[in-house]
Structure 1
């Protein structure tokens, strides 16, 4: 009996030490395998997530705006519009938004160096639909975005029929990044340029900056101002980044998503312009009820001109 117990105990001791020695001898290989597996899992998804958010104009109304609609206003809608003060942009926007209006911002680049750091000059008369771009990565390993390129997917004439114009009475540029998308699809976009005040204003952002994500880094948020002139463009961003496996490119928005930046039509059916101190001027296929500044507006010959009646 004692002999049997001793044999069993000896077997258990031998098995324990055999397992221990095996673990010691293979621990490096297993650690390396686990690390490689973690890296593979870490790279299975997108390197980073991009989120594009429109500006909340109820909370952040620009100084000067153009609002466009896809149809002419009826007589009743015109009367409701011209009863509002153009200086109260929030009220005008709230009313026209309820009719399907879309807001386009005036852009202010007069303070930027001329020419810009790369020799480019911003096209005069450009307009923008500003948005917020947020970048985030939950990767364990870090990555660095070292460049962004705007790519036009398509461009064409704007289709809006009605333009409501509340021009500037003095303003300044929003801080953030600016892309110049002026012209058609074959015209190469320029930028992004730094709009913030300071020594880097007008510089290409990625000449002196990178975006570090992953490895516990905070999100990166940009205010993006894409400018167009005579053509509406759909486009996307190709973001170049590096990680431990090399250099890569990821599209913003992801997949086949695009960004649309709308231009103001040069010959709308209806054109309403606010003249400070006088009221609304109305040009095109509409009545003149409530339009007290039409003569002044015609004399000033706005860049955007309606079709003749």
Structure 2
């Protein structure tokens, strides 16, 4: 009998956490428990969880407020079933999620990871779009190829793994605010094997302004640091996987260049929000990061029409229009990708 633990780290998740927990408890597959790692919530999260009096729920608190990194790192060492999955407090499981994962495990018993199709939803639970599909059997090299060419929706939740493997790799890496830590975790767990994928959409990822992983102009420094941590991880990972090394060699430079260009645009938007011209030190910081992550693209940061256009707006009297244009573009991008 396959048993699962659904692990939910949360801090002040109300009201989304209610819908999340209800979706977990509504699973048709009966052999699971819900492990809630509360991070000193001050809203209705904990009182409501306790009011459920459901034996499937195990609630752990924290003695002091934790960063998102430290909160999620608590997963290692907590008692879990043979298989586990992480879920954000604002995400949802369809009733057949665990049931389908259990069948996928029976079909691919040697897989390292298991995943179903998913969708992006808005604050009200309406579907924004379906997430991009992945191969039925995805290797680390295929994951990197899809990631580098923006043909995957990367999520830190909704992926099922063996608890012993999660502990073996040390849990989710302590990257800055967990940016790119999910990439490193999945690659570490897949090493030498593959991920099995069922195309049925049975997981919802909620997108809203307060979501920790939502890209905001002010998040560019944290993203930059996380990206550099991911680049260092990739160097070590590629050295031990020849196929992954090919993917990094073929697509890694263009990925790093495009990501740095996007972060530069975020920095331009942040400066424009304050009515300021971007600081030369900020430009230099992003340029040096690109040089570190992708030496071959070191001089290509401004090799983008859209970036130069935003840069020109930021330098002139129309800089106040930059945040408005970025907001409109970001809404379009979320639906069109």
Q: Which has the higher strand share?
A: 1
Question: Radius of gyration: which is bigger?
Answer: 1
Report TM bin, short chain: under 0.3
